[in-house]
Structures are given as C-alpha cells and as structure tokens.
Amino acid sequence: MNSNPRLNAILIKIKKMGYSLTPQRLEIIKIISESKSHPSATDVYNKVKELYPMVSLNTIYKNLSMLASLHEVKEIKTMQDSVRYDGDISLHGHAICEKCGKIIDVEIDEFDFKGFFETKIKNKLDENYRIRNYGVEFYGLCGGCGKEDSPSKT
Amino acid sequence: MNSNPRLNAILIKIKKMGYSLTPQRLEIIKIISESKSHPSATDVYNKVKELYPMVSLNTIYKNLSMLASLHEVKEIKTMQDSVRYDGDISLHGHAICEKCGKIIDVEIDEFDFKGFFETKIKNKLDENYRIRNYGVEFYGLCGGCGKEDSPSKT
DNA sequence: TTATTATATAATAATAAATATTATATAAAA
DNA sequence: TTTTATATAATATTTATTATTATATAATAA
Ligand SMILES: [Mn+2]
Ligand SMILES: [Mn+2]
Ligand SMILES: [Zn+2]
Ligand SMILES: [Zn+2]
C-alpha cells in the first residue's frame, strides 16, 4: 500500500467496481489525489505526459469522467473556462478567481451545511427529489489579482 | 412604466450606464426578467425570434453577457450543458436536475448565508480577496426523472 | 501456456457552445 | 442633415468536450 488515503480509497473502489488498473489510470489517480490545485483535464494531461508521452487527452477525459461517476472526484464548472477536477471529495466550497482562475478551498461547517440542507432545502423540493451532489462557489478576485481594477477614481 | 419591477430596474440601469435601448434588447430584457425557467441563450433566442425573426444568436449572447456584467442577470453553469440565465438576482440557490436540466429555485435564508459567509469564509481568505458573486447548487434528479433509475434490484 | 474475449488507450474526427470578425443598420451627437 | 458611435446580423473561428475507430493491453477460458 502507500501513505495517501485518498489514493487507496480510489484504488479500492476501482477494484471493487471491476475496472482494471492500467499504468495511465494509476498515474491519473495519483495526480488527482495528490493535487491541491484543482487541475483541468489539460493540466492532468500535461502531467501524465511526463511519464507517458503518448497518452491521449481522450484517456484523461474518460478516466476523470469515470472517477466523477464513481463520486471519487468532483467536477467544478467555473465561469470562464474549462471544467476543473477535485480529488478532495470532503464537504467544502470554492473561492474562484475570475481573473487568474485560481481555486481555493473554502471550509464549510458540516453541521451548518447539513442543517441548512435538511431544514431549508429538502422540504422545499418534491419529496422524491434526489440530491446527489452540491456545489458552493464564491466568485471574485484573489489577493494577487484584485489590486488595481477599481474603476478609475480620478 | 410597467408593473414588472425587475424590468424597470434593468431599464434604469441600462439608461444610467448609457447603453441604448434597442427593440431586440428590450425584448431580451423582458424575456429574462419575466421567465422563471432559467433559460439558455438558445431558449432566449427562440423566444426573441417570435417577434424579430432575423435576430442573431450573437446579439443574444452579447446582451446576456452585458446584463451579467452589470449584475442584472446571473449565469448558472450546469454540469451537463450550456449556461443558463437567471433574471432573479435575489439571494437564492438552485436545484438542478441532471437528467432533464430543470432548474428549481431554492430559498436561502439571508441571515444564515451572510453569517456563514462572514464568519466561515471571509476570514479564511486573503484579506483583499474580493467576493463578487456566489453560487449554491444542488445536483440530482427531480421528481419526474428520479423514478426508475435505481440499479436493477432483481 | 495459448486462445478468446473484454476493456482501455491512442489517434483522429466530429460536435456544439461561445466568441470573434466584418459589414450593415440603427441610434446618438454635432 | 452630417458625422460618429453603438448595436445588430451574418458569418467564420475557436476550443473544450465527445464520439469513432483501430490498436493495444488486460482479464478470462481453454
Ligand atoms: Mn477543493
Ligand atoms: Mn433562480
Ligand atoms: Zn487571481
Ligand atoms: Zn428532471
């Protein structure tokens, strides 16, 4: 085994679901389970290429989609560009910089959120509405990007 | 004037910002300020075409983007397909059906959310991080779509 | 082991939403 | 009206993502 619990969890799920573990797949899982930067498919592609220069982007998409369908990665749709992937599936939200695209994790109190969900949302929806996933995003400008963009104050 | 307060608010903003009010633009604003269905650009396009059959999709995109930049409509990025637009800019979240794409408004308690934001988020971020917008989404299956999709239980 | 079958990958082509370009039309200003 | 700026329409382009097909690899059976 190894010391990354997310990696282990995903490998166990992969095996349980009967998917085979190819070198490319393992590398993709390693990258996504270790990264904190919420990479795009292309980002993952470029990393995998370092080890497997012949890998195709299609393989990246296929594997990331598969992992998303297994709920082992989360897809983050940003406003400006492509889908970003998150190997951290614990309860949290994201602060997304609209200029540089940086995505920062935002802690969400589980009790607050669950309470919010149970009381405020669940009873508003059709009783057989099934929630499977959530997203909490804050869009804005990160520290580095939000310096000099105030509308000319002369 | 007229009886739709959102429409009025947008028209005032348009005038204040010095944009001219063309018939197509007015029609787009009417549609988005009256709709409760979170239409896509194509949906709006098809509605506008009923009055102005020669309208171009580019005009729809240009106007919706402009309204979004004025914060008079909200863009909703869904997981499966295109961007959806919301003329209701009041504080609320969305329940998004992953099968049929229907988007239902979800009430958010302002006090809860503001408190959540102020205490839990603002102090986690760089002090000059500027939040400009937010999104709260719940993905799942609506009542109509979530009937018979449980993995064959025979 | 080899043969067979299923699955994954690579290379390529296709899709479609969104954007850019350009020309024309309309609105605002002089 | 004449001039200038802005908006629209028609078209072309971009680009992320998906689909297709052929090849390669992995799993399974013989
Ligand atoms: Mn994250
Ligand atoms: Mn809404
Ligand atoms: Zn930034
Ligand atoms: Zn549905």
pLDDT of residue B43: 96
Do B14 and B81 belong to one domain? yes
Q: How confident is the model at residue B150 (pLDDT cuts 50, 70, 90)?
A: very low
CB–CB contact A138 B133 (8 Å)? yes
Q: What is the mean pLDDT of residues B93-112?
A: 88
pLDDT digit string, tens, across residues A58-86: 999 999 999 999 999 999 998 877 999 99
Q: Is the confidence at residue A123, as pLDDT, over 90?
A: no
Predicted confidence (pLDDT) at residue B153 exceeds the cutoff of 50: no
The reply to whether the CB atom of residue B69 sits less than 7 A from any atom in nucleic acid chain C is: no
| B49 and B116 assigned to the same domain | no
pLDDT tens-digit profile of B77-90? 988 779 999 999 99
What is the extent of the structural domain holding A150?
90-154
> Does A127 contact B134 at a Cβ distance shorter than 8 Å?
no
In this structure, is the dihedral angle defined by the CA atoms of residues A50, A85, A108 and B135, taken in order, positive or negative? positive
CATH code for the domain of B117:
3.30.1490.190
Question: CATH code at B9?
Answer: 1.10.10.10
Residues of A in contact with B121 (CB under 8 A): 93, 95, 106-107, 138
Q: pLDDT tens-digit profile of B16-64?
A: 999 999 999 999 999 999 999 999 999 999 999 999 999 999 999 999 9
pLDDT band at residue A154, thresholds of 50, 70 and 90? very low
Q: Which bases along strand D come within 7 Å of a protein CB atom?
A: 6-12, 15-20, 25-27
User: Do A78 and A36 fall within a single domain?
Assistant: yes
Please report which ligand is nearest the Cα atom of B80. 4
* Residue A94, CA distances (Å) to A28, A34, A36, A58 in order: 22, 18, 12, 27
Indicate whether B136 and B154 sit together in one domain: yes
Do A9 and A74 sit in the same domain of this protein? yes
Q: Are residues B140 and B82 in the same domain?
A: no
Same-domain check for residues B39 and B95: no
B2-8 long-range CB contacts below 8 Å, 24 or more apart? B4/B30, B4/B33, B4/B34, B6/B33, B6/B87, B6/B88, B7/B33, B7/B34
Q: Say whether both A74 and A97 belong to one domain.
A: no
| pLDDT greater at residue B129 or residue A26 | A26
A63 and A5 within one domain: yes
Q: How far is the CA of B15 from the CAs of A24, A123, B9, B68, B87, in angstroms?
A: 56, 41, 10, 16, 18
Q: Which of A89, A107, A130 is the last residue of a domain?
A: A89
Using the C1' atom of nucleotide D8, identify the protein residue whose alpha carbon is closest: B59
Q: Tell me, yes or no, whether B53 and B126 share the same domain.
A: no
Number of domains in chain B: 2
Give the rounded distance of the alpha carbon of A82 from its chain centre. 12
* Whether B51 and B66 share a structural domain: yes
- B97: CB partners within 8 A, 6+ apart: B103, B104, B140, B141, B142, B145
Q: What is the average per-residue pLDDT within A48-54? A: 96
- Tell me: do A41 and A98 sit in the same domain: no
Name which of B106, B141, B143 is nearest A124 (Cβ-Cβ): B106
Interchain CB contacts (distance < 8 Å): A and B:
117
Which of A89, A108, A140 marks a domain boundary? A89
A98 touches chain B (CB under 8 A): yes
Q: What are phi and psi of A104, to 5 degrees?
A: -110, 135
Average pLDDT, integer, range B129-148: 85
Give the bridge partners for A40, in sequence order.
A84
